Amino acid sequence: MAEALPRSRMTIPYITLRHGEEPSEELAPTAQLVVRPGRLGIRYLWESREDRDVRGVLWARIPQQLDRDGRPVGAPRWAYVHPVRQRRCMLLQRCQVCGGRADRTDAGYLYLAQAPEGVTGLLRPEMFEGHETAQPPVCAVHAQEAVKRCPPLVEGHVVLRAAETRLHGVLGTRYFLHSSGAVMEVPGQDDTSAEAVPYRDAEAIRWVLATSLVRKLRGITITDLGELL
């Protein structure tokens, strides 16, 4: 197994959450969420248009800490992404590291994925047809950097082009209406094993507070980093 280069020298990805971007107590979801009339899911007590995405799904409110040029500042919280920046990159297919344009050719946008566990031998494109990802695409420069420095990718990665990148759904926290009338978090939710709630599941998704946008990749070709240079 290759070893990741020190993160201290790594560009902090645009989508990475920074210290100082924690929600305040007033912004804690349980303090703000109420049920929609007709029990049609959750809403904020005071909601604005920016609280929902293009498909009408409610998103977590987390403040952003940006400099004058709109770049995030503050020490990275490596394991977490900022919902607003992740959504922007995924929706507009921007590079998740620099926020600039992701690499694109006739074969599609450039995505990186972890190599599937337990698979030996040649990776074939069919293995990644329908791959669901919350990791936005990358530009050619940052593809090179990510595979050398991002620990899950250093362990094994595949460089994909996807001709079709349909918006699929969201990752987030699921809520329910408690008999007391309060909106409560569904217990036992585990971030690491979370599956995307698809947009087509209208009943389920209206009870989700989204934190990441997920695309489903099809029309896959496997490429290598040498091709990008």
Instruction: State yes or no: residue 220 binds Zn ion (CB under 5 A).
Output: no
Per-residue binding letters, 73-112, with Zn ion (x by CB under 5 A): ----------------------x-xx--------------
Q: Binding Zn ion by CB under 5 A: which of 61, 82, 94, 142?
A: 142
- DSSP letter string, 108-135: EEEEEEEPPTT--S---GGGGTTEEESS
Question: Minimal distance in Å, beta carbon 96 to Zn ion?
Answer: 8
Q: Which is nearer to Zn ion, 89 or 170 (CB)?
A: 89
Enter the tokens of residue 166: 């349909």
For residue 30, give the H/E element and its range: helix 29-32
- Helix then strand then coil, in percent of the chain rounded to 5, is 25, 35, 45
Contacts of 43 (CB under 8 A, 6+ apart): 33, 34, 35, 36, 58
Q: Which is nearer to Zn ion, 35 or 143 (CB)?
A: 143
Question: Minimal distance in Å, beta carbon 18 to Zn ion?
Answer: 18
Q: Which is nearer to Zn ion, 110 or 209 (CB)?
A: 110
Q: Which residues bind Zn ion (CB under 5 A)?
A: 95, 97-98, 139, 142
